[in-house]
Amino acid sequence: MSDIPDMQIGHIGLFVENLPKMREFYTDVLGFRVTDEGKGSVAEMAFLSRNPDEHHQIVLATGRPENTFSVVNQISFRVNALSDLRMMRDRVVAAGAENVRPTDHGNAWSVYFLDPEGNRLEVYMATPWYVVQPYGVRLDLEKSDEDIFTDCETNAKSRPGYMSADDWRDSVFS
């Protein structure tokens, strides 16, 4: 693949029904900042970012028909520690998010939930293990960090195809 330039996901855009409500959720609950907003040629838009080096990571744009099913499978946000994962779980629960579901994927620990318009969001952190996907079991975030690490490591090692995350990266990207 050396003839393909390095590409990274830069930002996503979501059509929304209720721009003020969605802007409030993404700023007040998830910590994004509004970097710009206004009326484009066909929609009102809010540009949001948590990264000062990115003008926007998310664009919310009016135009989603009322009462329509979200076609977003998920939008994922990475954190660096179990304490961050717990904090975000607590924030979304306090905000009334629906379907809050902590999950152990073997290669990641996640908290899934719905935004106000039913888009599935995930806050996750990577683990040092690889487990064949798809895989997911309930994650008990009430346990100590040490107990979560020990229990999940034991479970990951018992799964077919287990290897370290470093070995998996070498096998796929070498």
Q: Domain 9-65 has what CATH class?
A: alpha beta
pLDDT digits (tens, 9 = 90+) for 87-109: 999 999 999 999 999 999 999 99
Instruction: Tell me what the mean pLDDT of segment 53-66 comes to.
Output: 96
* pLDDT at residue number 174: 87
pLDDT digits (tens, 9 = 90+) for 8-30: 889 999 999 999 999 999 999 99
Map out the domains of the chain as residue ranges: 9-65, 74-174
pTM of the model: 0.92
Beta bridge partners of 114: 98, 120
**Helix H segments across the chain?**
19-24, 82-94, 145-157, 165-173
* pLDDT at residue number 147: 98
Beta bridge partners of 102: 111
**Beta-carbon contacts of residue 114 (< 8 Å; ≥ 6 apart):** 97, 98, 99, 120, 121
What is the DSSP code (8-state) at residue 27?
I
Of 120, 42, 126, 121, which Cα lies nearest the Cα of 82?
A: 126
Q: What's phi and psi for 83, nearest 5 deg?
A: -60, -35
Burial 16-46 (b: 16+ CB within 10 A, else e): bbebeebbebbeebbebeeeeeeeeeebebb
Cβ(127)–Cβ(139) under 8 Å?
A: no
* Angle subtended at Cα 158 by Cα 157 and Cα 162, rounded to the nearest 5 degrees: 50
| Architecture of domain 74-174 in this structure | Roll (3.10)
Q: Supply 44's token pair.
A: 């009102």
